[in-house]
Structure 1
């Protein structure tokens, strides 16, 4: 049950008939795993905490560096040198003390990752490590948990949802069958600060839709964002019938 304070805190969402009190209670009862507390994970964590997700599990092996602060808005200058998960936890609890936050520093091996995914309602992967996103994809498909995956570099971003509960959903390996870890990263290529906010908040929106059960998530669709042109392009994705993960 929502307390009087929570009814007030979340009142603007509760006013929406698609959410109402029932939807807000679903958010409060949900558990979300966020892989990566960098540029994308920052707005994801902030907005899901603000929206009232009951339990956020944060996983990241890194510490806060001064070069992160240009775009990783969950961290503060006084957190330089602190683990990203602890830094994010402090910020999230200051924003919304009702949210339970579990901080997991380090890289989750396959068994630990699967154990965390099995407990989650939604997994969000926004790391710049391609192999870690593919590991999350495999775990989500084994556990039957939807995955929101995104990436952002330079002036361009992309986002999609992969849902093993749906027969028509491809998985991340269907989209990127080349599993070699040759993707560009921000340290080498650069990234404009607000880009990760655009993509990260889109990830949070997809997670909220999945939890509440409203609208149509980006299953079978890849959205590409060009920040310089201010345009979104939607590509239809197909299931690979020979995919070793989802088929």
Structure 2
């Protein structure tokens, strides 16, 4: 690190659990964020501010007026722009040292596999089960840590999955893929604006803990937030021995 970086990240360096070594790991890290909406916005902003070396921001949608109530990466002036490009501009404004790659298409297939394989940590900030399960399969295949968040109405969820560790569950173990699952979308159900900030910021925190090796990440636990009462519940879960995605792993 140069003198400017030592000053910029001094408040991290002062933390015994992070220090110079941990901050260097952050600077060297590559993070893939799938979704540049309500969850991806605060997650990406905090990761960029923290100094993540390379952030790949993937979202196939464009900025809409209805997004601005909670998707703080975007501005009125960027309505109609691809969210990934709008997010790239915002992140580079926060920290020009961070390399931000914008992917303005829905990730799938070989492109998703390649990006997951090259990432240190993956953040699932999307809003549909099909993408969540495809991202999970790629993370299991390449043994990458996955930080998953969700927010709808006043309810938030957070969980971490890491197939690089022995006998840990994957997303499919917790939420089995099924054709009959009904999608709940913000466009029809609504969402409390600060809720996405709470969950997305926690996703950034878990990603930084994974990268620096500090603290205890929420493996094998699903955190549930009731935004109306501000009460948290934690549910423990384990690997499904018959999971079609991760059962063959050690």
| TM-score grouping bracket, smaller chain normalisation | over 0.9
Map 1:49-198 to 2 at 5 A. Answer: 49-180=48-179, 182-198=182-198
Match of 1:205 in 2: 205
Q: Is the 8 A contact 1:130 1:179 kept in 2?
A: no
Q: Is the 8 A contact 1:137 1:147 kept in 2?
A: yes
- Taking the aligned partners of 1:30 and 1:132, their CA distance within structure 2 comes to 24
SS of 1:148's equivalent in the other structure is strand
Q: In angstroms, what is the RMSD of aligned CA positions?
A: 0.8
Q: Is the 8 A contact 1:28 1:53 kept in 2?
A: yes
SS of 2:56's equivalent in the other structure is strand
- Taking the aligned partners of 2:125 and 2:219, their CA distance within structure 1 comes to 17
Match of 2:239 in 1: 239
Match of 1:31 in 2: 30
Q: Is the 8 A contact 1:62 1:84 kept in 2?
A: yes
SS of 1:17's equivalent in the other structure is coil
Q: Is the 8 A contact 1:163 1:169 kept in 2?
A: yes
Q: Is the 8 A contact 1:168 1:220 kept in 2?
A: no
**Cα-to-partner distance string for 1:118-153 (whole Å, 9 max, x where unaligned):** 000000001111110100000000001000011000
TM-score (normalised: structure 1): 0.98
Match of 1:222 in 2: 222
**Cα-to-partner distance string for 1:180-218 (whole Å, 9 max, x where unaligned):** 352201001000100000000000000000000111111
- Total equivalences in the alignment: 246
TM-score (normalised: structure 2): 0.97
- Taking the aligned partners of 1:3 and 1:71, their CA distance within structure 2 comes to 35
- Taking the aligned partners of 1:228 and 1:109, their CA distance within structure 2 comes to 36
- Taking the aligned partners of 1:167 and 1:226, their CA distance within structure 2 comes to 32
Q: Is the 8 A contact 1:146 1:161 kept in 2?
A: yes
Residue 179 of structure 1 and its aligned partner are, at CA, apart by 3.0
